[in-house]
């Protein structure tokens, strides 16, 4: 389990070579004199470059996905892979809880993974290319309109080897199909059979006598060597001897061509179904072996047939005989027919080692093929394939991350652990060097970082982060904290995510930020609302204090309207602070006073007096409010119909006035802004009320 | 690979992004503070100026954003060591038009301020300021909604043994980094190192607030015994998303050291430390170090004009992962 074999061992691998130096074109006239850096969300790094007096700010994504796929397509993949990923995680956890073991080993676990793999495969655009039986037009040998992606090819390769347990028996045939689908991808680095076919197809219309063209025979043997039987038979039928005007004098030649074509189309294959392609399919190995031997004997028989001598077209003679050699597994013919080692490798399974099952000794064979066809340039799928054949999970992982980026690693890692306890341990074991997380978690975190760095994908990062047992929540918290609260839609989304994952302290933090933002930016109501939501006592107390102060300054009805709503907000939920309690009572008093002001209803007046007494009795009512309160209540004190205050109530108020006159001697006393005769009119009103109350009682 | 976001005006000397990366503050040689805001929906490609005014005398050398829990505010450090705190607020009570207002100024005859950093402890906002005379002052915000009212909470020197005597210190630069841990019951702590003529002050030390005795205590010194006098250029405390230890980067003239800091103190109250890597690359002064939000990748810039990215591999070996070389 030596992890030093892992490629460059990168934690969060970057595409390209390790420790690569990338040029950073800034377009400033002078050399850089100073640089400053700042990480944005995820893997976005922002740089400020200073050169002379000029300066620029640039943004760099330090670890991006495969550039083969355009951004919009990437986002489609990112969004599309969420559901299968989440489903697999939930299946994993339900199976683990069922078995009461941490490892999800279950006889049919691989079926879940296979379903997941198929869904992802479809998402990547898993439409079969040359597999499609419908090829229109006589001059179409291979389809060229849809190009598969390397990502798709890599995914399918991993699926073939790690997940699809059902197809283990016909693994070689799946590789044949795989190459048929993706041979075109290798054209970017070297010559391929697909590439040669495409070139030939372009010129097909201009070729008069096809069997005289050496490329025709060359391509026939090439296509046959990798098992593209349909292409071979279709090409053979283009042979000139099939033309009606020539049929009579080339009867024998045509017979030989047709005989080979029939043999090719009858080639026994060890696979469950034909998918509409040529060849006779056998599901069981004994049947296949029997058929194979019979087929081989037919080829040998044809090879030794006397008709060859009578065939006077030299090209046809040699070309067809060469096809027979391919089918007989002649290594030299196969070597000549194939372009690079993977093609040669596939041809081995078809013609030299048709009875190979499973992965045993496949690596040795690959080594042999690489020796026979040394690679001048290495394609990125090649590295992955070698890693898989070597059965080295770490190399596979390193290749995936280096060549295909974090998306593939984060998703393919699910496939790699299927069915191998050793890989399961390797990938799920917590490592101190990684800060106590497993390789699986590390790669999910790395992928979540990529998602986090884009405004259109950060919302799906939580799905991956919450599947990380150790550090996912920590990173999610950091991600959520870094979202701007300025815009309500982002803010609400943010809070929703917090609620979903029970991140209460982060959501209250975010709401506090929003509250302070709005409060300071003049949206006082929104500010109070969010601070309430955040249950931020210290800020709310400060706001209550401020309100309090402003209420104390002016007590006119206009200002009352202004802060009435605020008091409502402040007191709606949380246990109101001392100051707020007063404000609530004060609001009630003001309201009842308003009712009194117009009318003459004694009941309303009595209610107002009740509020006044409550306020004056309450220890939290600040002293400086006493006089204004009483002054506001003059109408009540001088009520015409009857005295509204009892003797004891009047005494209470008189005592308060007494206290006030004592307080005036203190330094801290601030004189409320009231008319100069306020105090005396209050005194007079109280005295009058007292007299009337005594008489009444 | 690089996308240009903004061309700054001539004379710009420093920039700083806010917590969400949606606002950029830029300071210039003539004391002008500019604020750039990204439009909504948040696409980083369009930034527009929303404020521009001369806020200090002389050159602004550094801008630090106040944590968003306390509003939209920046601290501007000028070349002569004055820190001024500017805040964006509504013009009047009921107005929604905004303006930047000065709230507070720090630094005077007692010494130039070299660096400031804000940290949130369980109770309040704190600001650590490092002065050119080697003093460290911790200020505390008294009112969470008012950036005007600060109180000096503590003043000390960056030394382990308070008895040690040395001459008048003269510091060229200092670097402060708070433990980025948010919330929780953990006591607030920060890290500070100096570039000065006084070896005792230089080595970076972790200071933790001792609530019981209401004082700041050094709980770790991040330097090998033979390197204690090394000039410290920059320090950076990595975000910890769940590691059983903290990771801290310290850049000195010998290179960039990566330290592991244990979470549990020994019987002396010290936190166990281990230097896990000493990285070289910038060949000279390191200007700045920044951790990404996962605390796994460290970005650094320095005298060689390069941006370097560092990571640990699966075996815990730190190495340079990539570098960016500015070219015109």
Pick from A28, A474, A520: which is nearest to B242 by CB? Answer: A474
Tokens of A418: 């299927």
User: Across A104-240, where does the E strand assignment appear?
Assistant: none
Q: Which of A23, A37, A55 sits opposite B301 (nearest CB)?
A: A37
Q: How much is the pLDDT for A12?
A: 40
Task: State what percent of residues in chain A have pLDDT above 70.
Answer: 87
DSSP E strand boundaries for A377-424: none
Dihedral of the CA atoms B214, B215, B219, B222 (nearest 10)?
140
Q: Which residues from A are below 8 Å from B71, CB to CB?
A: 516-517, 520
Could B323 and A437 be called an inter-chain contact, meaning their C-beta atoms sit closer than 8 Å? no
* B98 in reach of chain A (CB within 8 A): yes
> What's the pLDDT tens digit per position in B15-38?
999 999 999 999 999 999 999 998
B window 50-69, beta carbon within 8 A of A: 68-69
Residue A561: band (very low, low, confident or very high) from pLDDT cuts 50, 70, 90 = low
CB pairs A-B closer than 8 Å:
297
> Is the pLDDT confidence value at A527 over 60?
yes
Taking residue B278's Cβ as centre, other Cβ atoms within 10 Å add up to 15
Q: Which long-range contacts (CB under 8 A, 24 or more apart) does A677-682 make?
A: A678/A627, A678/A631, A679/A627, A681/A631, A681/A634, A682/A627, A682/A630, A682/A631, A682/A634, A682/A637, A682/A657
A575-607: pLDDT as tens digits:
445 556 677 777 778 777 777 777 778 888 888
Under a CB-based contact definition with an 8 Å cutoff, are residues B154 and B212 in contact? no
Q: Are A531 and A504 in contact (CB under 8 A)?
A: no
Q: Mean pLDDT across the stretch A685-693?
A: 89
- Reading phi first (left if > 0) and then psi (alpha if -120 to 50, else beta), residue B35 is in beta
Which residues are within 8 A (CB) of B79 and not within 5 positions of it... i.e. 6 or more apart? B58, B59, B60, B61
Give me the residues of A, 522-561, that contact B with CB < 8 A: 522-524, 536, 538-539, 542-543, 546
Q: Whole-angstrom Cα distance, residue A158 to residue B259? A: 39
Question: Which of B70, B288, B319 is opposite residue A37, by nearest beta carbon?
Answer: B288
> Which among A245, A246, A277, A242 has a CA at the least distance from the CA of A256?
A242
Residue from the list A9, A23, A42 with its beta carbon closest to the beta carbon of B325: A23
Own/partner pairs for B92-101, CB < 8 Å, 24+ apart?
B92/A522, B93/A522, B93/A524, B94/A522, B94/A524, B95/A522, B96/A521, B96/A522, B96/A523, B97/A522, B98/A521, B98/A522, B98/B50, B99/B51, B100/B33, B100/B35, B100/B51, B100/B53, B100/B55
- The DSSP secondary structure of B32-43, one letter per residue, reads EEEEEEE-TTT-
Set of chain A residues whose Cβ sits within 8 Å of the Cβ of B239 = 474, 478
Please indicate whether, in this complex, the C-beta atoms of B20 and A433 are within 8 angstroms of each other.
no
Nearest-10 crossing angle of helices A557-571, A524-534: 20
Q: Does B172 touch chain A (CB under 8 A)?
A: no
pLDDT in tens, B203-222: 999 999 988 888 999 999 99
Distance from CA of A568 to the nearest CA of B (A): 18
418-457 in chain A: CB under 8 A from chain B: 431-437, 439, 445, 449, 452, 455
CB A541 within 8 A of CB B144: no
Q: DSSP string covering A548-600, please?
A: HHHHHH---HHHHHHHHHHHHHHHSSS---HHHHHHHHHHHHHHHHHHHHH--
Measured between CB atoms, which of B288, B305, B324 is closest to A22?
Answer: B324
Pair of tokens at residue B84: 């001024």
Give the separation between CA A273 and CA A287, rounded to whole angstroms. 14
Residues of B in contact with A514 (CB under 8 A): none
The ipTM value here is 0.95
Enumerate the residues of chain B whose CB falls inside 8 A of the CB of residue A523: 96
Query: How far apart are the C-alpha atoms of A636 and A605, rounded to whole Å?
Result: 6
Instruction: Kindly report whether the global pTM for this prediction surpasses the value 0.90.
Output: no
Task: Tell me which residue of A534, A481, A544 sits closest to A512, measured CA to CA.
Answer: A534
C-alpha A567/C-alpha A551 separation (Å) is 11
**Pair A112, A126: CB distance under 8 Å:** no
- Residues of B with CB below 8 A from A478's CB? 239, 241, 293-294
* Any A CB within 8 A of B70 CB: yes
Q: What is the pLDDT of residue A548?
A: 67
**Pairwise CB contact (< 8 Å): A54 & B44:** no
Residue A558, pLDDT score: 61
For chain B, how far is it from start to end, CA to CA, in angstroms?
14
Contact B1 A60 (CB under 8 A): yes
CA B291 vs. chain centroid, Å, equals 12
- The whole-number pLDDT of residue A126 equals 55
**For chain B, which domains are there?**
9-38+48-59+84-106 (no CATH), 108-324 (2.130.10.10)
pLDDT digit string, tens, across residues A269-299: 988 887 778 899 998 889 999 999 999 999 9
Which residues does chain A have within 8 Å of residue B103's beta carbon, measured at their own beta carbons?
A: none
The C-alpha angle with vertex B80 and arms to B77 and B81, in degrees rounded to 5, equals: 45
Angle at A350 (CA atoms; ends A345, A354), nearest 5 degrees: 110
Q: Give the alpha-carbon dihedral of A383, A386, A390, A395, to 10 degrees.
A: 10
């Amino acid at each position: 389990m030596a992890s030093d074999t892992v490629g460059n061992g990168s934690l969060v691998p970057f595409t390209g070579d390790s420790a690569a130096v990338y040029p950073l074109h800034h377009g400033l006239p002078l050399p850089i004199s100073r640089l400053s850096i700042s990480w944005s969300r995820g893997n976005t790094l922002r740089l400020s470059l200073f050169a002379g007096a000029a300066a620029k700010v640039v943004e760099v994504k330090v670890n991006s996905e495969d550039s083969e796929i355009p951004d919009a397509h990437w986002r489609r993949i990112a969004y599309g892979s969420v559901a299968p990923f989440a489903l697999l995680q939930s299946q994993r956890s339900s199976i683990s809880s069922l078995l009461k073991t941490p490892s999800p080993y279950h006889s049919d676990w691989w079926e879940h993974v296979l379903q997941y793999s198929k869904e992802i495969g479809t998402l990547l655009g898993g439409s079969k290319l040359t597999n499609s039986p419908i090829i229109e037009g006589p001059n179409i040998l291979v389809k060229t309109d849809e190009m598969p992606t390397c990502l798709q090819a890599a995914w399918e390769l991993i699926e073939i080897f790690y997940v699809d347990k059902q197809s283990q028996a016909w693994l070689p045939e799946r590789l044949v199909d795989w190459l048929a689908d993706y041979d075109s991808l290798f054209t970017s680095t070297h010559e391929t059979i697909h590439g040669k076919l495409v070139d030939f197809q372009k010129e097909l219309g201009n070729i008069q006598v096809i069997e005289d063209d050496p490329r025709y025979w060359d391509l026939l043997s090439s296509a046959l060597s990798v098992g593209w039987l349909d292409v071979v038979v279709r090409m053979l039928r283009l042979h000139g001897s099939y033309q009606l005007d020539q049929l009579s004098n080339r009867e024998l030649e045509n017979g030989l061509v047709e005989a080979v074509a029939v043999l090719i189309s009858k080639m026994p294959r060890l696979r469950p179904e034909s998918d509409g392609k040529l060849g006779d399919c056998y599901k069981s190995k004994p049947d296949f072996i029997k058929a194979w031997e019979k087929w081989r004997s037919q080829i040998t028989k044809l090879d030794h047939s006397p008709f060859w001598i009578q065939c006077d077209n030299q090209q046809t003679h040699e070309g067809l005989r060469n096809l027979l050699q391919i089918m007989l597994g002649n290594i030299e013919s196969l070597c000549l027919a194939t372009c690079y080692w993977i093609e040669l490798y596939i041809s081995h399974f078809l013609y030299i080692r048709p009875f190979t099952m499973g992965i045993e000794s496949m690596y040795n064979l690959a080594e042999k093929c690489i020796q026979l066809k040394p690679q001048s340039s290495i394609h990125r799928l090649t590295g992955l394939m070698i890693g898989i054949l070597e059965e080295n999970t770490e190399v596979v992982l390193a290749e995936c991350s280096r060549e295909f980026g974090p998306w593939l690693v984060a998703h393919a890692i699910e496939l790699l652990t299927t069915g191998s306890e050793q890989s399961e341990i390797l990938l799920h074991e917590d490592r101190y060097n990684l800060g106590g997380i497993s390789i699986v978690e590390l790669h999910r975190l790395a992928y979540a970082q990529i998602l986090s760095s884009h405004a259109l994908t950060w919302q799906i990062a939580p799905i991956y982060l919450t599947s990380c047992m150790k550090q996912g929540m920590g990173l999610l918290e950091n991600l959520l904290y870094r979202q701007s609260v300025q815009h309500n839609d982002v803010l609400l989304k943010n809070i929703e995510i917090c609620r979903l994952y029970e991140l209460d302290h982060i959501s209250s933090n975010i709401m506090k930020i929003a509250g302070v933002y709005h409060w300071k930016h003049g949206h006082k109501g929104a500010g109070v609302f969010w601070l309430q939501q955040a249950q931020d006592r210290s800020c709310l107390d400060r706001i209550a204090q401020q309100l309090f102060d402003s209420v104390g300054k002016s007590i006119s009805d206009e200002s009352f309207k202004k802060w009435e709503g605020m008091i409502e907000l402040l007191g709606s939920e949380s246990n109101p602070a001392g100051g707020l309690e007063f404000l609530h009572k004060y609001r009630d008093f003001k309201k009842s006073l308003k009712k009194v002001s117009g009318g003459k209803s004694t009941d309303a007046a009595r209610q107002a007096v009740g509020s006044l007494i409550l306020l004056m009795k309450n220890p939290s009512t600040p002293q400086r409010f006493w006089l204004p309160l009483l002054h506001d209540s003059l109408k009540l004190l001088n009520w015409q119909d009857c005295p509204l205050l009892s003797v004891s109530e009047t005494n209470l108020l008189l005592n308060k006035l007494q206290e006030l006159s004592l307080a005036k001697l203190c330094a801290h006393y601030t004189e409320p802004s009231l008319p100069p005769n306020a105090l005396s009119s209050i005194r007079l009103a109280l005295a009058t009320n007292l007299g009337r109350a005594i008489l009444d009682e | 690979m690089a996308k240009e976001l903004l061309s700054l005006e001539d004379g710009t000397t420093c920039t700083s992004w806010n917590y969400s990366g949606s606002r950029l503050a830029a300071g210039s040689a003539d004391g002008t503070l500019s604020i750039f805001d990204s439009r909504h929906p948040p696409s980083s490609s369009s930034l527009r100026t929303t404020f521009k005014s001369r806020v200090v005398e002389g050159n602004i050398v550094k801008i630090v954003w106040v944590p968003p829990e306390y509003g939209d505010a920046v601290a501007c450090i000028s070349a002569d060591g004055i820190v001024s705190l500017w805040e964006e607020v509504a013009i009047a009570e009921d107005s929604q038009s905004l303006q930047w207002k000065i709230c507070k100024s720090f630094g005077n005859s007692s010494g130039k301020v070299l660096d400031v950093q804000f940290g949130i402890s369980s109770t309040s906002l704190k600001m650590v300021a490092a002065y050119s005379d080697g003093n460290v002052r911790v200020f505390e915000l008294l009112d969470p909604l008012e950036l005007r009212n600060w109180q000096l909470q503590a003043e000390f020197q960056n030394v382990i043994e308070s008895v040690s005597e040395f001459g008048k210190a003269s510091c060229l630069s200092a670097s402060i980094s708070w433990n980025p841990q948010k919330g929780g019951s953990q006591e607030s702590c920060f890290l500070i190192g100096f570039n000065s003529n006084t070896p005792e002050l230089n080595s970076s030390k972790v200071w933790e607030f001792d609530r019981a005795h209401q004082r700041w205590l050094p709980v770790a010194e991040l330097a090998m015994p033979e390197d204690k006098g090394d000039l410290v250029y920059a320090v950076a405390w990595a975000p910890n998303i769940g590691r059983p230890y903290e990771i801290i980067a310290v850049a000195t003239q010998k290179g960039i050291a990566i330290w592991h800091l244990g979470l549990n103190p020994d019987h002396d109250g010290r936190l166990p430390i281990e230097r896990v890597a000493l990285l070289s690359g910038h060949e000279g002064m390191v200007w700045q170090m920044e951790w990404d939000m996962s605390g796994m990748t460290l970005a650094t810039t320095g005298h060689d004009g390069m941006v370097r990215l560092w990571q640990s591999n699966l075996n815990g070996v730190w190495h340079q992962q990539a570098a960016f070389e500015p070219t015109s």
